[in-house]
């Protein structure tokens, strides 16, 4: 969640397809991080635990301080429930927009190529996407998820058998966590 470097922001879900991992997670994580950087410009009334800590970790401390000052004036606005968080709601709305955008581009060659060859989706985004696509594509999404599940299981099995001093592949733990529940901080 820390924003120590300037992010390259994407305007379309299609721009992140060539990058590793679930494109929806990647896009939304970037959206969320950029969003937290510029919260001083918006009225925030409710924050969940995750986004309160995320805001505390952003590089733009003066803007974050302004948001926290407003919240201190109305302390009942900090919520333990994600559903009441203003940032969670905005991330969910952006997620819906990106799923609709992706579905509207299914006929494009670059999208169909990605689906046939390189596609990786986390389970939560795979489930959300399959609800919006034709049955033939829903079957393809199920196959993609199963293929990636098998690949991760092999990586984890290998990791579990290696002596601690020889271990490589720690990234498989993070990839598995993302696959199961989406990237940290994204409500799947």
Q: How far apart are CA 143 and CA 162, in angstroms?
A: 29
Lowest mean pLDDT among 70-74, 109-113, 126-130, 155-159: 70-74
| pLDDT value of position 44 | 80
Structural domain contains residue 60: yes
Structural domain contains residue 127: yes
Specify whether the backbone of 32 is left (phi greater than 0), alpha (psi in -120 to 50) or beta. Answer: alpha
| pLDDT value of position 59 | 63
More confident: 151 or 187 = 151
- Position 188 confidence tier, pLDDT thresholds 50, 70, 90: very low
Structural domain contains residue 76: yes
Judge whether 56 and 33 are in contact, CB under 8 Å: no
Q: 105: how many CB neighbours lie within 10 A of its CB?
A: 15
Q: Residue 78: is its pLDDT beyond 80?
A: no
DSSP assigned state of 38 = T
Judge whether 35 and 90 are in contact, CB under 8 Å: yes
Q: How many domains does the chain have?
A: 1
Judge whether 20 and 172 are in contact, CB under 8 Å: no
Q: What is the pLDDT of residues 7-28, one digit of tens each?
A: 557 889 999 999 888 999 999 9
Q: What is the extent of the structural domain holding 53?
A: 13-181
User: What backbone phi and psi angles, to 5 degrees, belong to 22?
Assistant: -70, 120
- Beta bridge mates, 47: 78
Structural domain contains residue 58: yes
Structural domain contains residue 19: yes
**pTM, whole model, 2 decimals?**
0.81
Residue (of 186, 7, 179, 157) closest to 82 by Cα position? 186
Dihedral, CA atoms, 6, 8, 11, 16, nearest 10 degrees?
A: -140
Structural domain contains residue 2: no
Judge whether 60 and 40 are in contact, CB under 8 Å: yes
Structural domain contains residue 170: yes
Structural domain contains residue 132: yes
Lowest mean pLDDT among 73-77, 89-93, 122-126, 131-135: 73-77
């Amino acid at each position: 969640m820390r924003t120590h470097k300037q992010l390259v922001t994407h305007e379309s879900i299609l721009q992140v397809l060539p990058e590793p991992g679930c494109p929806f997670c990647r896009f939304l994580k970037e959206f969320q991080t950029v969003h937290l950087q510029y919260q001083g410009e918006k009225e925030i009334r409710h924050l969940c635990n995750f986004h309160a800590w995320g805001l505390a970790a952003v590089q733009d401390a003066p803007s974050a301080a302004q948001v926290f000052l407003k919240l201190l004036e109305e302390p009942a606005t900090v919520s333990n429930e994600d559903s009441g968080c203003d940032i969670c709601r905005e991330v969910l709305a952006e997620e819906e927009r990106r799923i609709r955008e992706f579905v509207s581009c299914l006929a494009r060659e670059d999208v169909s190529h990605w689906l046939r060859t390189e596609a990786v989706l986390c389970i939560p985004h795979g489930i959300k996407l399959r609800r919006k696509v034709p049955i033939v594509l829903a079957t393809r999404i199920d196959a993609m998820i199963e293929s990636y599940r098998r690949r991760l299981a092999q990586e984890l099995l290998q990791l579990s058998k290696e002596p601690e001093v020889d271990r490589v592949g720690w990234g498989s733990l993070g990839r598995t966590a993302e696959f199961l529940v989406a990237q940290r901080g994204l409500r799947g």
